[in-house]
Structure 1
Amino acid sequence: MIRRGSDTLLFDCGEGAQQQMMRVRTGFTVDAIFISHWHADHYLGIFGLLETMGFNGRRDPIRLYGPRRIHEIVSIIRQLNQRLSFPIEAYELSDGEEILFDGYQVIPFATRHGCESFGFILVEDVRPGRFDREEAISLGIPPGPLFGRLQRGETVTVTTCGEEKIVTPDQVMGSPRPGRKVIYTGDTRPLREWPDTASGSDLLIHDATFDDQERERADEVFHSTAGQAAIAAVETGAARLALVHISSRYTSTANHIQDAKRHYQGEILFPNDCTMIEIPFRD
């Protein structure tokens, strides 16, 4: 789950999703659900979650994004629960499309899991540069409403020493700054090539089902090892790496940590269920 401003997006929805949401008290005001692929542990929770939303009186539409057959899944949901109190909107994912939201977008990309599958890049819009207050004053702009107009990209006119002067935003604003970026791979083998939009993420959430000793097994079942996830973090220039989907066969993540650190020098996270990660702006 990602919360950005007032929006809540759910990426995959396993069988126990709503119980976990209740544990951490997120509520059920989800705006959109993205399904990476049609394996049961990634979508079976949708049925119960939508029914709970109906019981709670939801009226607003919910958007469901998924691979081919998403329309069939939504049709089945409607047939099973014909008394849902809100519309369900189904959208089929396409590699590289830009799904626009207010101030950010979600970009699906094809992954390698033995079936049609997707990862997702959430990237915020570019932010304005920093406002140079001292420079504005030196140009004759008095502190006050004109500061705000310049920061909103408007050109202003001031009178200094009896002469009118035009001041443009580029005279007092620094270079645009990137927004935050989060990547979620879902289940996948290592990608042969990453999309350009994946570079420079603040957080890469990557499949690390196995440690490197089980690399052959990982390849057989279309998953990744911790070391391979770390290589992906290096290839994409990720600031932080979260290793997820660890196989239940492991009672310790010591080998995963060792494997990942062999390739990647950044911060490595092993989030448990319901772990909350704050993602600050880089500047």
Structure 2
Amino acid sequence: MFTRQRPEAQVGPREARARFRRGLVAHTSGWSHGYVQANLVSVPRMHAIALRRFAVRNPRACPLLDVVGAGNYWTDLAYGADLRRDLPAYQVWRKGDLIAEPTDVRDYWRSDLVTFLTGCTFTFEPFLERAGIPLRHLEQGVNVPMYRTNRKAMGARRFRGPVVVSMRPVPAAMVDQAASITRDMPFAHGEPVHIGSPAAIGIRDLARPDFGDPVRLHDGDVPVFWACGVTLQEAVVKAKLPYAITHAPGHMLITDRRAKPNGTGEIPV
């Protein structure tokens, strides 16, 4: 079974969401082992069709889990969840500018908002741990580092931008195993998009991530990069929509769906 070294790994999804609703702010890596985590992006209905097209065209970076209709704030992925309150932290955007970083967006919610929930690499981390693959960001007590790359996502109307990646240092002898484990979880971004030299994908300095926190590599570690759901958020920000709400990077919705590698691209219940 999964390792249980951290208390938050044993917290069930409903209890985790209740804690966040009460005001706890924490990045959700390492929480609720065995359950699917999701990114959140909410945009005005008039832009939803184009944003869905962007997600469908970029399935590695934006694996769609659910699209919630205009004004609604619940999802079948998480029974009883309130998408306005049950993530640890949010960001509110106006014309590409960050205007607020609340822990509750009820006062910012609008009846025309369509919400996209996409997969997150935090989902597969317990499977790496179970295989004995270390997670340096958890060892060091920080958020996973995320970077903009020189790879361009396939655009859709006004939505376009770079592919964003998350990075986890992996001991060289375990890189193939990490790739194999994550390959069978396409709903959580699947296998790595790049292994090795950060410069090859336009990352100048691993110590200066665009999102999250820097992580120290150990001797023998290789930087391994997975596509990241912040790609969708970046497309929304660059589009300078009149209004949008997103999760704060690293602060996810923890769903009630159990995560099991199956290779089908579907989320097993």
| TM norm. shorter chain > 0.5 | no
| TM-score, normalised relative to structure 2 | 0.26
| TM-score, normalised relative to structure 1 | 0.25
**Between Structure 1 and Structure 2, whose CA radius of gyration is higher?**
1
